Structure formats: C-alpha cells, structure tokens
Chains A and B, each alone.
Chain A
Amino acid sequence: MLARVRDWLDERFGWDELIAPLRKKTVPVHRYSHWYFLGGITLFLFLIQVGTGILLLLYYRPSANEAFESVQYIMTRVEFGWLVRSIHSWAGNLMILTAFAHMFSVLFLRAYRKPRELTWVSGMLLLFLALGFGFSGYLLPWNTLAFFAIKVGTEVAGQVPLIGKWLVVFLRGGEEVTGATLTRFFGFHVALLPGITTLLIALHLALVQRFGISVPRSLEAQWLRPSARRHQAGMVFPFHVPNAEGAPRKGLVHRW
C-alpha cells in the first residue's frame, strides 16, 4: 500500500530523487554522546509545543475579560485540559533548557566554525525567538504574576537608548499593560513567532542536513595524523569520555 503511494509519487515528480539526500546521513560515532541529542530534543519539544498550543487555542480566549476565566475553564472543566496546559508549560521551560544546552555544546566544541557559521547564526536567532515565546506566553494566563512580570519585563525594554520609549509603547500597545497588551502578546505568541520560527527551523535543519554533524577539532587533527597516539586529548566537555574501543572511528554511514 505504502509502496504503491510512493511509486505513484515517484512517477509524477521523482519522489525518490527528492528525498535521496535525506536517506543517507553520516553520523559521527567517534564519541557517541548525549550532547549530540540536544538539538533533536529541542525540535521534539517544539513540536510538542505546536501540538499542545493548537489544542489550547480551542478554549483560550485572548481578551482582558475572559483570558483568566478561560484558563481556569481549561484547567477545571475541560477533560484533560490540565494535562494539555501543564505539558505546554513544562515542555516550554524544558525547550529553553535544552536549547541553551545545545547552544553551549556547540559553542564549547567550536562546531560553529567554517562552514557552519549560518547554522550557528540561525540557531542563535531561534534561541532568541524561543525566549520571545516564553516572554509572550507568560502574559497569557492573565493572572497577577503574569501581569507584573510583563510590566517589569517591558520596563526593561524602556532602558534601550533612543527607541526605548517607543519600544515599550509598541510592546504594550499603549502606555500601560492593559488588555491591548494581552491581545498583542497573543498575536506574537500564536502567529508571528511560530511563523518566523518554523521558517528558521527549516533553514537550520536544511543546513545541518547539508553539512552533516561537526567533528571536534582535536579529533579532526587526530584523523589527519595516521600515526597519532590513540588516546583522548582532554577537553572541557564530557564528550570526551572514551568510548568502548578507545580509538576514534571516522563515522558511520547510516541508511534506512
């Protein structure tokens, strides 16, 4: 059945050719470590956020009069509403955590070096967008904590020289944090940020796909010296727990 669908697609627009680059990937086995999972975990959590976010949109109402009540409604009346909202909240926090861990692992291993500069830059932009998600989402429950957190948070933006004042008015949709701010942040949170983020993730993944996974410098150097001593050069990160064989292998072509 699946094969027939694939054949059909292949006959029309060369499906196999299209996905050929996706079917072959070099996975470094030199130091098979958890640090390489962080990007994927972040992506997974992002997808969780998209799913639970869409579910929350079914019941959430972004107006000053109804926002708080609708969140209470989700938590108390809607079946499994508490679960969906809690997953959204926790996965959001975890996503920030894994995104930062991912960023630091790339930073310390200098995985950003040529030719992967654009991957790094797009990743940093994604990190800022993730923070934007966190900030805009924080207001949406419209409780006291949310209100004052956003009041203080937007005041920080006011300290930017020259455009600070304008920036605060832009963020708040007025001089003060009001229902206008809520509507605005809701728009950022569910339309503007997801749109930009999705595009950037596509770019980020395409770049990772194109360049493959970075190999740490010290290993690269080892591989270039055939007579090199086969033990670990101690580096900052726990990437360098020796693997079973001790000796680095050059990578494994993984097919599926």
Chain B
Amino acid sequence: MCPKDSAAQVPREVAQSPVRRRFAEFLLGGGLLASAISFLYPILRYLVPPAQPDLGTDSVVAGRVGDLRRNSGKVFRFGNRPGILVLTENGDYKAMSGVCTHLNCTVQYRPDLRQVWCACHNGFYDLNGRNVAGPPPRPLELYEVHVRGEEIVVDRRRGA
C-alpha cells in the first residue's frame, strides 16, 4: 500500500544499484503517468462544450400531414428556437423562422389576413417571410419543406 514501508523492508544489499533502480522507477512511473494522461485528456476535452452549443439542427419533423387545416399555421420547435409552419389555402406548406426580427417575439399566423403576424409590436410578414409592415427590420428566414410519408420535414440550408 505505502511504497515507503515496502522499500524499508527491502534489505540494503538487494537495492544494489540505485541508478538502475531509479531508472526502472522512472520508466514505470512515466508509463503510468502517460497512461493516466491518455485517459484523462480525452475526458477533459469532452467536457469542454463545443463552440456551437446549439444542437445545430438542420432538419426537424414539424408535424404530420393532417395536423393542419388549410389556411392555418402552427409553431414548432426547431432546435432551441421556434419555427412556424403554414398550410396555405392552395395546400402548399410554408415554413420559416418563428422569431420576429424586431425584438425576438414568437410570431403567429393570421388566417384572416393570410400573413404572419408578430403580436408584440404589430409586425407583418408575408408567406415568403418578407417583412411587409410594422417594425421588423429584416425578413424571416425561410425554410424548405418536404413531405416524407406522413411527416412534414423542415430543412434549414446548411451554413445559413
């Protein structure tokens, strides 16, 4: 258990060459240390969160076919932000970021106006995400929508 004890028990003659002994200890200790580092280093690196703390979600199932009536919309989760999915009167799906470019409120669909509306400061976007009225300074990011079987999949272009 305690290296001092065991060393004390070894008779002096046995430990004949202190140099050789020290060298062996150095090799052994160095090997153990290298092993320990090779185990600990990956763990420490793993613990550091990557620069992109977001999941980096590029694709998400926004809903199922039949969830939406025509001329209605719903808010879905896209990674850690909301997105909004709209089924137009023509039966087309439109998806865009759900975060208002003005002050980051969550937007909603207005069936009466056929526009996306931010309730916070009365901002309006059309169904291509363009900011058409009110304070929003920029358009909403538009996503691609694919219907895959029963699922409505929303994609964000990589790097966007």
Contact = CB atoms under 8 A, between A and B. Distances in A.
A80 B56 CA distance: 18
Interface in A53-78: 55, 58, 61, 65-66, 69-70, 73, 77-78
Given A77-B52, A79-B48, A256-B1, A69 B43 contact: no
Given A3-B2, A65-B61, A65-B77, A84 B46 contact: yes
A73 B42 contact: no
The interface residues of chain B, by DSSP majority, are classed as loop
Contacts of B1: 256
Contacts of A2: 2
A69 B55 contact: yes
Interface in B1-33: 1-2
Interface string B48-71: 111010011100110000000000
B10 to A, nearest CB: 16
A162 to B, nearest CB: 34
A69 B59 CA distance: 9
A69 B57 CA distance: 7
B158 interface: no
A83 B60 contact: no
Contact of B45 (A66, A70, A79, A256): A79
Contact of A78 (B46, B60, B61, B79): B46
A81 interface: yes
B83 to A, nearest CB: 12
A65 B60 contact: yes
Interface in A1-38: 2-3
Contact of A80 (B2, B46, B55, B57): B46
Interface residues of B, number: 18
A43 B46 CA distance: 24
A80 B42 contact: yes
Contacts of A58: 46-47
A55 B2 contact: no
Interface string A36-57: 0000000000000000000100
A231 B43 CA distance: 51
A55 B43 contact: yes
A91 B61 CA distance: 33
A28 B57 CA distance: 57
Contacts of B77: 65
Nearest to A255: B1
A58 B45 CA distance: 13
Interface string B77-91: 101000000000000
Contact of B46 (A69, A70, A73, A81): A81
A201 to B, nearest CB: 22
B9 to A, nearest CB: 13
A66 B50 contact: no
16 contacts: A55-B43, A58-B46, A61-B55, A65-B61, A65-B77, A66-B57, A69-B56, A70-B55, A73-B56, A77-B56, A79-B42, A79-B46, A80-B45, A81-B46, A83-B42, A256-B1
Interface of A: 2-3, 55, 58, 61, 65-66, 69-70, 73, 77-81, 83-84, 256
Q: Which 9 A-B pairs have the closest CB atoms?
A: A80-B42, A79-B45, A80-B46, A77-B50, A69-B55, A80-B45, A69-B57, A73-B55, A83-B42
